[in-house]
């Protein structure tokens, strides 16, 4: 049935032409972009997978750069350590030649050559850096980004290659040195204290104990025992025997043996009735062993144990008094040492990287507070600007006296360990004995340099192997992404030609369908 209202043939032809045009647009997009999945609407799943993989490829390209840079850093260190090893071998040859019976002049010439090679080694070590990284100085490991590992749940973990530093510096060890006024972190006080005599107690060096408490009868022997230990200048040892007072004040460097010797002599000089000559035993080791004084009565001799007095000078702050300890402003180095002596104990804090004098003051307060020293109150006033201003620690007595040693305040610059080749600093062949010792030393130094070169060589090979793998991985992932999203250009070309033919036929079919109503007019002529 034909109708002038509904042209079914035209509708079919139009729908077909629309489909052809849509497919033609898709193929043209594939040809112009080179991709069959260019956007998420083309294929959401494939687009999401390929996008994630594409970002991984870009990340691995950055990892390749990291590995190449790491390989260069390690390669620089390896080359330098190999040169150092060669120079040490040449040093060894010189040292071996110095084992002979040589004149002082010949030895001096050999020493000059050794010193020159030591300078060359130091220059090589200092210059062995790439992009500011020197693996021949310091001890911290270096990490090189090696991979990004994606788990099944999508989480990503960075994998790194650790390269150990090998210290080949030639500097010797430097002991901690006392800071001086004007140095950053200098610990000091403007307050003064008058030392007081404090009674020694059992266990203190020089503390005196008696074999009996009361008077001596005929034939009885009194033994006074002086506890071993290090005594200080100004320590006082006193007692009363037979009505005579005996006192000795320790001089600088005195030991317990010096104390008892002086007191024995004083007892003999006193000429006490009914008392024989003073005897006793010296301490074998005065720093730990006791010494004694013995006297024997030949009649009654007065003696009272309570007359014994052993004292030492002690700095302390009285109740309600206080002392301000300042920590000078400035840049504090890691490893700097700070000490405060209070309450009979010494408190030490070693600065960490980045510490300021405010951190030091707070740390010392924490250490002191932890011991809960009786009657002591510690407060800290921070520096407004730690780079220039001082921080203050206030030590105050509240409720009674508190022992404090102003001589126990101090600060020291950080000590530094010797470098890996630090023994070169003292290497000498100027005498036969020194040449013999140098031969043993150079062997150890060569082992250090050889181990460093071998370590760097192994690390460099590992890094280069990883770089090769990462590049292969990039190629494989790129190929896989292409297989998912790239258009098949041969197929697209063939499909384009077919669709163009279909488009022409569709247009003709639509034209024929549109002319059908005109045919109906012939029926009414």
Number of helices (H), then strands (E), belonging to the chain: the values are: 7, 17
What is the per-residue pLDDT for 485?
A: 72
Over its C-alpha atoms, the chain yields an Rg (Å, rounded) of 46
Is 221 part of a structural domain of the chain?
yes
33, 44, 130: which is closest to 80 by C-alpha?
A: 130
Q: Could you tell me if 210 and 303 lie in one domain?
A: yes
Q: Could you tell me if 401 and 507 lie in one domain?
A: no
Pair of tokens at residue 142? 């270096």
DSSP per-residue string spanning 161-223: EEE-------PPPB---B--TTSTT-EE-S-----EEEE--TTSTT-EEES-SSPBPTT-EEE
Cβ neighbors of 136 (< 8 A, separation 6 or more) are 77, 80, 81, 125, 128, 165, 166, 167, 168, 169, 452
Is 14 part of a structural domain of the chain?
yes
CA gap 236, 225 in Å, rounded: 15
What is the per-residue pLDDT for 25?
A: 76
Q: Could you tell me if 13 and 78 lie in one domain?
A: no
Is 177 part of a structural domain of the chain?
no
Pair of tokens at residue 400? 């009674």
The strands making up 196-199's β-sheet, listed across from edge to edge, are 196-199, 309-314, 236-241, 244-249
Q: Could you tell me if 307 and 201 lie in one domain?
A: yes
What is the per-residue pLDDT for 205?
A: 94
Cβ neighbors of 175 (< 8 A, separation 6 or more) are 415
Q: Could you tell me if 250 and 224 lie in one domain?
A: yes
Q: What are phi and psi of 343, to 5 degrees?
A: 65, 25
For the chain, what is the domain count? 4
Quote the domain boundaries for residue 370.
187-193+318-412
The answer to whether residues 324 and 391 touch, using CB atoms and an 8 Å cutoff, is no
Pair of tokens at residue 324? 């301000």
CA distances from 354 to 2, 132, 263, 477 (A): 95, 21, 56, 45
Residue 430's CATH number:
1.20.1330.10
* DSSP 8-class letter at 299: S
CA gap 337, 352 in Å, rounded: 10
CA gap 61, 475 in Å, rounded: 11
What is the per-residue pLDDT for 494?
A: 77
8, 147, 210, 226: which is closest to 467 by C-alpha?
A: 147
Q: What are phi and psi of 491, to 5 degrees?
A: -65, -40
CA gap 347, 351 in Å, rounded: 13
Is 428 part of a structural domain of the chain?
yes
CA gap 30, 499 in Å, rounded: 14
Pair of tokens at residue 216? 């001596």
Grouped pLDDT means (10 residues each) for the chain, 525 residues = 71 82 78 74 79 82 89 94 95 92 90 94 93 89 87 83 91 87 94 85 94 95 96 94 96 96 96 95 96 96 96 89 96 95 92 96 96 95 96 95 90 88 90 91 93 94 91 84 73 75 78 74 71
CA gap 448, 334 in Å, rounded: 27
Is 1 part of a structural domain of the chain?
no
Q: Could you tell me if 463 and 517 lie in one domain?
A: no
What is the per-residue pLDDT for 4?
A: 66
Residue in the structure block whose two tokens are 């292969």: 472
Q: Could you tell me if 356 and 372 lie in one domain?
A: yes
CA gap 216, 295 in Å, rounded: 10
The answer to whether residues 297 and 274 touch, using CB atoms and an 8 Å cutoff, is yes
pTM recorded for the entire structure: 0.57
Q: Could you tell me if 322 and 399 lie in one domain?
A: yes
Name the 3-class secondary structure at 18: helix
Helix axes 8-33, 489-520, angle to 10 degrees: 160
Q: Could you tell me if 460 and 506 lie in one domain?
A: no
Is 174 part of a structural domain of the chain?
no
Cβ neighbors of 196 (< 8 A, separation 6 or more) are 313, 314, 315, 316
Is 39 part of a structural domain of the chain?
no
Q: Could you tell me if 452 and 504 lie in one domain?
A: no
Q: Could you tell me if 105 and 160 lie in one domain?
A: yes
468, 390, 395: which is closest to 71 by C-alpha?
A: 468
Cβ neighbors of 380 (< 8 A, separation 6 or more) are 358, 361, 362, 365, 391, 392, 393, 394
3-class SS shares of the chain: helix, strand, coil, % to 5:
45, 20, 35
Q: Could you tell me if 225 and 275 lie in one domain?
A: yes
């Amino acid at each position: 049935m034909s109708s002038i209202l509904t042209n079914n043939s035209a509708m079919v032809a139009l729908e077909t032409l629309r489909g052809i045009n849509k497919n033609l647009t898709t193929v043209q997009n594939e040809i112009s972009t080179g991709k069959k999945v260019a956007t998420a609407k083309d294929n959401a799943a494939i687009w999401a997978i390929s996008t994630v993989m594409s970002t991984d490829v870009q990340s691995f390209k950055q990892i390749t750069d990291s590995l190449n840079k790491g390989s260069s850093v390690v390669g620089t260190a390896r080359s330098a350590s190999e040169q150092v090893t060669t120079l040490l071998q040449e040093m060894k040859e010189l040292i071996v030649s110095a084992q002979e019976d040589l004149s002082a002049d010949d030895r001096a010439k050999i020493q000059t050559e050794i010193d020159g090679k030591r300078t060359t080694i130091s220059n090589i070590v200092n210059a062995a850096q790439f992009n500011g990284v020197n693996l021949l100085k310091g001890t911290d490991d270096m990490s090189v980004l090696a991979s990004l590992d994606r788990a099944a749940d999508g989480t990503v973990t960075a994998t790194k290659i650790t390269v150990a530093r090998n210290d080949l510096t030639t500097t010797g060890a430097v002991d901690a040195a006392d800071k001086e006024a004007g140095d950053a972190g200098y610990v000091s006080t403007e307050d003064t204290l008058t030392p007081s005599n404090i009674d020694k107690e059992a266990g203190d060096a020089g503390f005196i104990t008696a074999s009996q408490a009361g008077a001596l009868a005929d034939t009885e022997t009194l033994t006074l025992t002086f506890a071993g230990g290090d005594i200080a200048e100004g320590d006082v040892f006193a007692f009363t025997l037979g009505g005579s007072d005996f006192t000795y004040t320790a001089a600088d460097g005195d030991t317990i043996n010096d104390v008892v010797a002086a007191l024995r002599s004083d007892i003999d000089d006193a000429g006490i009735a009914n008392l024989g000559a003073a005897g006793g035993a010296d301490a074998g080791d005065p720093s730990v062993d006791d010494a004694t004084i013995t006297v024997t009565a030949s009649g009654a001799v007065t003696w009272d144990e309570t007359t014994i007095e052993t004292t030492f000078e002690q700095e302390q702050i009285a109740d309600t008094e206080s002392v301000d300890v300042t920590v000078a402003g400035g840049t504090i180095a890691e490893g700097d040492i700070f000490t405060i002596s209070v309450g009979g104990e010494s408190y030490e804090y070693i600065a960490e990287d980045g510490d300021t004098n405010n951190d030091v003051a707070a740390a010392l307060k924490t250490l002191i507070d932890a011991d809960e020293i009786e009657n002591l109150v510690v407060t800290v006033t921070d520096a407004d600007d730690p780079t220039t201003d001082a921080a203050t620690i206030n030590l105050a007595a509240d409720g009674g006296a508190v022992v404090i040693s102003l001589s126990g305040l101090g600060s020291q610059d950080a000590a530094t360990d010797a470098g890996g080749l630090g023994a070169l600093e003292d290497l000498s062949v100027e005498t036969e004995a020194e040449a013999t010792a140098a031969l043993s030393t150079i062997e150890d130094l060569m082992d250090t340099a050889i181990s460093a070169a071998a370590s760097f060589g192994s690390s460099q090979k590992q890094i280069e192997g990883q770089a090769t793998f990462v590049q292969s991985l990039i190629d494989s992932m790129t190929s896989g992404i292409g297989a998912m999203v790239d258009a098949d250009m041969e197929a697209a070309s063939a499909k384009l030609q077919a669709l163009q033919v279909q488009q022409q036929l569709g247009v003709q079919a639509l034209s024929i369908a549109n002319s059908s109503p005109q045919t109906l007019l012939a029926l009414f002529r």
